[in-house]
Amino acid sequence: MAKFEYAPAPESRAVVDIRSSYGLFIGGEFVDPAGGTSFKSINPSNEEVLADIAEAGEADVDAAVKAARKAYTQTWSKLSGRDRGKYLFRIARIIQERARELAVLESLDNGKPIRESRDVDIPLVAAHFFYYAGWADKLSYAGFGPDPRPYGVAGQIIPWNFPMLMLAWKIAPALATGNTVVLKPAETTPLTALLFAEICQQADLPPGVVNILTGAGESGRMLVQHPDVDKVAFTGSTDVGKAIARSVAGTPKKATLELGGKAANIVFDDAPIDQAIEGIVNGIFFNQGHVCCAGSRLLVQESVYDDVLTSLKRRLGTLRVGDPLDKNTDVGAINSAEQLARIRELSEVGEAEGAERWSPECELPDRGFWFPPTVFTGVSQAHRIARE
């Protein structure tokens, strides 16, 4: 299958106004971190520094939790579900109004193709807020009894693969059910969470109902261990999830852990191969493969193995790797240098274990964090690349 040549179709960056630096969002305002430390948010497609980001320390975590507790006690818990829903509807409408801005910023900070952030992520973000806005005054019908009660202050930690969508999954249901939130986005993708803080201001959300703390793993650890956090919600690696489970064990805190896993795709000889390959490729390479449900292992019945492999290679050869802001791009940049190093390490391990590695001819940009679509064959379940 020939790869058609398309003229560049870049999305404009002019719709986004990125500040040179960002503080922490605590009590409805952006504030400087108590320790004065910061880190840089990097555009993974070209290693451009996008902004300096404040790093939350212990005093900042404490201030954010106190702001969330005050908002919960004095304001949010006293509102009816109907009134909470009004705020969520307002946030949802603002997200729709600023959808293009959010999509461009997501692709700049994360590296995912603009088609995905524009057509999938941000519309779903708005949809989640609309959905939970509708639930806010109907909680007595949700199966938790006639008068379900909120936990209080929720400490939430999200990963970098779907920054805004993960934010919506965490914040929207928490607010709808009467909780206040302290959220820590991933250190490599903080910018859309900080823009969401501006949206909270624009929606006149009561101060302290949503607080955004930026920082790395240590900031998240302090949030999880804060004694006045009632509920911990975490999406990320299994190792960190285990550490959080140990941390909250024996305390009154509730915890929700989404630790993900990679399912296998299975192709039998009665499958329509072209349709199967299309679904497999879309699933595996969506969001550069950084999806908890990506079928990163492909199990094929021997009688159709050669046909499936030929079709798979042919389809991979048509994927367009390049500028995430180009609307023709299928596969964007890897999110960070650290993640790229991990991918390279596992790929080298795969070859060392005896698996056969194949990638289509693929011209990668000179700068940024890039990796070509890659398939390993001759892999057993004992191989590390199959297990990890």
Whose CA is closest to 188, among 13, 335, 18? 335
Q: H/E/C letters for each residue in the chain? A: CCCCCCCCCECCHHHCCCCCEECEEECCEEECCCCCCEEEEEECCCCEEEEEEECCCHHHHHHHHHHHHHHHHHCHHHCCHHHHHHHHHHHHHHHHHCHHHHHHHHHHHHCCCHHHHHHHHHHHHHHHHHHHHHHCCCHHHCCCCCCCCCCCEEEEECCCCCHHHHHHHHHHHHHHCCCEEEEECCCCCCHHHHHHHHHHHHCCCCCCCEEECCCCHHHHHHHHHCCCCCEEEEECCHHHHHHHHHHHCCCCCEEEEECCCCCEEEECCCCCHHHHHHHHHHHHHHHHHCCCCCCCEEEECHHHHHHHHHHHHHHHCCCCECCCCECCCCECCCCCHHHHHHHHHHHHHHHHCCCEEECCCCCCCCCCCCCCCCEEECCCCCCHHHHC
Bridge partners of 84?
A: none
Given a cut of 80, is residue 354 above it in pLDDT? yes
Choices 3.40.309.10, 3.40.50.300, 3.40.50.720, 3.40.50.1100: CATH for 264-387: 3.40.309.10
Between CA 95 and CA 112 the distance in angstroms is 19
**Structure confidence at residue 144 (pLDDT):** 86
Q: Which candidate in 101, 198, 292, 353 is catalytic? A: 292
**Structure confidence at residue 58 (pLDDT):** 97
Q: Average pLDDT, stretch 342-358?
A: 95
Given a cut of 60, is residue 286 above it in pLDDT? yes
- Token digits of residue 215: 């920082």
Q: Examine domains 13-258 and 264-387 and report if their fold is the same.
A: no
**Structure confidence at residue 3 (pLDDT):** 56
**Structure confidence at residue 81 (pLDDT):** 96
Given a cut of 90, is residue 284 above it in pLDDT? no
Given a cut of 70, is residue 109 above it in pLDDT? yes
Contacts of 331 (CB under 8 A, 6+ apart): 113, 285, 288, 319, 320, 321, 322, 373
**Structure confidence at residue 163 (pLDDT):** 96
Q: Per-residue pLDDT tens for 228-262?
A: 999 999 999 888 999 999 999 999 999 999 987 66
Q: Average pLDDT, stretch 43-66?
A: 97
Q: Per-residue pLDDT tens for 29-40?
A: 999 999 889 999
**Structure confidence at residue 347 (pLDDT):** 95
Given a cut of 70, is residue 267 above it in pLDDT? yes
- Report strand pairing: 231-235 vs 153-157: parallel
User: What is the pLDDT confidence band of residue 297, given thresholds at 50, 70 and 90?
Assistant: confident
Given a cut of 90, is residue 388 above it in pLDDT? no
Given a cut of 80, is residue 348 above it in pLDDT? yes
**Structure confidence at residue 293 (pLDDT):** 62
Lowest pLDDT segment from 39-48, 49-58, 118-127, 276-285: 276-285
Strand ranges of the sheet holding 231-235, from the earlier edge strand across to the other edge: 29-31, 24-26, 210-212, 180-184, 153-157, 231-235, 254-258
Given a cut of 60, is residue 84 above it in pLDDT? yes
**Structure confidence at residue 259 (pLDDT):** 87
Q: Average pLDDT, stretch 192-217?
A: 98
User: Percent of the chain, pLDDT > 70?
Assistant: 96
Provide the residue ranges of all domains of the chain, joining segments of one domain with +: 13-258, 264-387
**Structure confidence at residue 290 (pLDDT):** 64
**Structure confidence at residue 282 (pLDDT):** 78
Question: Superfamily for 13-258?
Answer: Aldehyde Dehydrogenase; Chain A, domain 1 (3.40.605.10)
User: Percent of the chain, pLDDT > 90?
Assistant: 84
Lowest pLDDT segment from 108-117, 178-187, 227-236, 296-305: 296-305
Supply the mean pLDDT for the chain: 93
Task: State yes or no: is 292 an active-site residue.
Answer: yes
Q: Which candidate in 58, 198, 258, 353 is catalytic? A: 258
Between CA 219 and CA 213 the distance in angstroms is 8
Q: Average pLDDT, stretch 189-200?
A: 98
User: What is the pLDDT confidence band of residue 360, given thresholds at 50, 70 and 90?
Assistant: very high
**Structure confidence at residue 5 (pLDDT):** 75
